[in-house]
């Protein structure tokens, strides 16, 4: 009798739990149906996880498919709805003409824990973000952004990169670390006041941390933090992300302390010096957001943004050059005809190097490294026929603009002719939105343009790249995380010599 009661007790508990789960499931289905009835069209979401499974299966195909539902569509990240804008005129109207209303930053659960609203990249739209971004742009310009001396730094670093690559001449090697080191040295010279050698083990570790975090942030377990936020308290790759960020912040704190000891307020050497001076100036201002945490996070943001996006684009560039040797040869011939073998490129050379200039843009178009930039509305606003409450997640579909079949001459293939007019001169399309739009557009666009053009021109001037014999071609879908990165690959480089 006692065992029967115990059995009935467990049966009741099981039935109660099952009933509770069924009730939650029905409630979620009702919520989704109610939400979809007043929302733009889109793929059908699953209860609790939304469209995350579709996104994780083939991210780029999923993002591009959103245009099939019209100018405005939507999908669900777990239980959070994301409005997708697939019309370029509508994107411009929202993110440029009404930019402030769409300038919020959608929280990323795996990163919010370490940024805490500080810095620039992930900071919410408001006073702190405005002050930090304005100061960063002003300071970067003061230290040469958009001026000849930065171009000279890039050209000099390009020669270091070429020498580093030639150490492996004729042998398969991974270009990942040399490219990241070279690109990072440009922003490091502005932020930290110095560059780092390619064999610097501590700096190599920082770059490894940076690369690892980019990959881990897009891992399936990390994305599941959207579905079940308390996962962040359990072991998993997200824990490694936070450890890596802590290591980077600890390094920046050490650099800041060294700068404090040698600071000359009248002659700031770099971004950190300038920030320390600004903190002193703002001490009596109650509305100031210049503090230690914002300094550490803003410095980290500049290091991250100034390294990964450009380095990732250059990695894709090598892949496209090896995949299209005819394009690589035509660029080399044009560069040597205009510059010879010895003179370094500068931004003024773009007009005389239209095919090379077009190739740089075609690399960016095909690489499409930031197809998903999710924003938030900062106030209630209107988008076409839809009313968007404050806090609505919204995404301009940059991927679809870069592959628009009605606009590009060769939308599905790598072809620099997409950026050349009938006379063979460079022509920039309004569908080229690689740096995003509106108040949140890339703050380092000027620096990135100089780096991409000068680095690529210098590499193609002096080196020839090819696939290692028998090497499998990497999956061109890439790895979609914070940025869209290529899978690891190897290359063979050979010196062009100084004569044909």
Q: What is the pLDDT of residues 62-86, one digit of tens each?
A: 998 999 999 999 999 878 899 999 9
H helix count then E strand count, the chain: 17, 11
**301 phi and psi angles, rounded to 5 deg:** -60, -45
Confidence grade of residue 38 (pLDDT, cut at 50, 70, 90): confident
| Cα Rg of the chain, angstroms | 25
Q: Of all helices (H) and strands (E), which one includes residue 489?
A: none
Q: Is the model's pLDDT at 401 over the cut of 60?
A: yes
Q: Can you read off the two tokens belonging to residue 90?
A: 């509508």
Residue 14 domain-assigned (yes or no): no
Say how many CA atoms lie within 13 Å of 19 toward its Cβ.
6
Confidence grade of residue 39 (pLDDT, cut at 50, 70, 90): confident
pTM of the model: 0.91
Rounded Cα distance, 174 and 475, in Å: 16
The total domain count for the chain is: 1
Mean pLDDT over 270-280 rounds to 95
Mean pLDDT over 202-215 rounds to 85
pLDDT for res 336: 97
pLDDT in tens, 433-486: 888 888 888 888 889 999 999 999 999 999 999 999 988 888 888 888 778 899
Q: Is the model's pLDDT at 312 over the cut of 90?
A: yes
Q: In which domain, by residue range, is 343 found?
A: 30-495
Rounded Cα distance, 301 and 306, in Å: 8
pLDDT for res 72: 95
Interior/surface letters 357-380, b for 16+ CB within 10 angstroms, e for the rest: bbbbbbbbbbbbbbbbbbbbbbee
Residue 242 domain-assigned (yes or no): yes
Confidence grade of residue 499 (pLDDT, cut at 50, 70, 90): very low
Closest residue by Cα to residue 264 from 280, 251, 253, 282:
280
pLDDT in tens, 281-295: 998 888 899 999 999
Mean pLDDT over 152-160 rounds to 95
Residue 16 domain-assigned (yes or no): no
- The β-bridge relationship of strands 393-396 and 80-85 is parallel
Least confident of 17-21, 98-102, 306-310: 17-21
More confident residue, 254 or 30: 254
Residue 374 domain-assigned (yes or no): yes
- CATH number of the domain enclosing 299: 1.10.630.10
pLDDT for res 222: 61
Mean pLDDT over 357-384 rounds to 93
Rounded Cα distance, 446 and 143, in Å: 13
pLDDT in tens, 97-119: 999 999 998 777 667 667 888 99
Q: Is the model's pLDDT at 252 over the cut of 50?
A: yes
Least confident of 40-49, 125-134, 145-154: 145-154
pLDDT for res 50: 85
* Distances in whole angstroms, Cα of residue 319 to Cα of each of 103, 160, 185, 323, 426: 34, 21, 22, 6, 23
Confirm if 464 and 494 have CB atoms less than 8 A apart.
yes
Closest residue by Cα to residue 483 from 73, 37, 28, 121:
121
Confirm if 400 and 102 have CB atoms less than 8 A apart.
no
**68 phi and psi angles, rounded to 5 deg:** -65, -20
Residue 435 domain-assigned (yes or no): yes
Confidence grade of residue 13 (pLDDT, cut at 50, 70, 90): low
pLDDT for res 229: 64
Q: Can you read off the two tokens belonging to residue 85?
A: 């804008």
Residue 25 domain-assigned (yes or no): no
pLDDT in tens, 226-250: 656 666 666 766 677 778 888 899 9
Q: Left (φ > 0), alpha (ψ -120 to 50) or beta: where does 415 sit?
A: beta
Residue 122 domain-assigned (yes or no): yes
Q: 3-state class of 306 per DSSP?
A: helix
Rounded Cα distance, 130 and 125, in Å: 7
Residue 6 domain-assigned (yes or no): no
pLDDT for res 493: 97
Closest residue by Cα to residue 238 from 393, 108, 116, 123:
108
Q: Of all helices (H) and strands (E), which one includes residue 373?
A: none
pLDDT for res 58: 83
Confirm if 62 and 45 have CB atoms less than 8 A apart.
no
pLDDT for res 5: 45
Mean pLDDT over 328-347 rounds to 95
């Amino acid at each position: 009798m006692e065992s029967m009661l115990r059995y009935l007790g467990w049966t009741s508990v099981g039935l109660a739990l099952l009933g509770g789960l069924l009730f939650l499931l029905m409630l979620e289905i009702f919520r989704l149906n109610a939400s979809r009835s007043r929302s733009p069209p889109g793929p059908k979401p699953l209860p609790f996880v939304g469209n995350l499974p579709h996104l994780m299966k083939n991210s780029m195909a999923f993002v591009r498919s959103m245009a099939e539902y019209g100018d405005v569509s939507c999908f669900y990240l777990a239980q959070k709805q994301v409005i997708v804008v697939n019309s370029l005129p509508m994107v411009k109207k929202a993110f440029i003409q009404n930019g402030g209303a769409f300038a919020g930053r959608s929280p990323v659960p795996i990163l919010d824990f370490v940024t805490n609203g500080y810095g620039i990249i992930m900071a919410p739209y408001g006073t702190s973000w405005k002050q930090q971004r304005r100061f960063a742009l002003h300071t970067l310009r003061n230290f040469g952004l958009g001026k000849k001396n930065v171009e000279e730094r890039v050209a000099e670093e390009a020669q270091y990169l070429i020498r580093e690559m030639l150490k492996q001449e004729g042998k398969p090697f991974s270009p990942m670390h040399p490219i990241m080191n070279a690109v990072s040295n440009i922003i490091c010279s502005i932020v930290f006041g110095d560059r780092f050698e390619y064999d610097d083990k501590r700096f190599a570790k920082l770059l490894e941390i940076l690369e690892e975090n980019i990959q881990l942030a897009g891992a399936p377990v990390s994305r599941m933090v959207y579905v079940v936020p308390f996962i962040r308290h359990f072991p998993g790759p997200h824990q490694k992300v936070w450890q890596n960020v802590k290591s980077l912040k600890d390094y920046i704190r050490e650099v800041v302390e060294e700068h404090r000891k040698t600071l000359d307020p009248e002659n700031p050497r770099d971004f950190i010096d300038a920030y320390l001076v600004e903190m002193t100036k703002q001490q009596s201002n109650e509305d100031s957001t210049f503090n230690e945490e914002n300094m550490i996070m803003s410095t980290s943001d500049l290091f991250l943004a100034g390294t990964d996006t450009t380095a990732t684009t250059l990695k894709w560039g090598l892949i496209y050059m090896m995949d299209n040797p005819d394009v690589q040869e035509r660029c080399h011939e044009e560069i040597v005809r205009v510059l010879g073998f010895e003179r370094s490129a500068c931004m003024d050379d773009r007009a005389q190097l239209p095919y090379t200039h077009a190739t740089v843009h075609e690399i960016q178009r095909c690489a499409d490294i930031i197809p998903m930039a999710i924003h938030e509305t900062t106030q209630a606003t209107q988008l076409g026929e839809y009313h968007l409450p404050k806090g609505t997640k919204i995404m301009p579909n940059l991927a679809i603009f870069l592959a628009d079949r009605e606009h590009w001459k060769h939308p599905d293939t790598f072809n620099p002719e997409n950026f050349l007019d009938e006379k063979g001169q460079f022509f920039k399309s309004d569908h080229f939105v690689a740096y995003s739009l509106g108040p949140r557009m890339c703050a380092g666009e000027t620096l990135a343009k100089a780096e991409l053009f000068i680095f690529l021109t210098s590499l193609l001037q002096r080196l020839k790249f090819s696939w290692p014999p028998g090497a499998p071609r990497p999956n061109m879908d890439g790895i979609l995380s914070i940025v869209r990165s290529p899978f690891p690959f190897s290359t063979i480089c050979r010196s062009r010599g100084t004569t044909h």
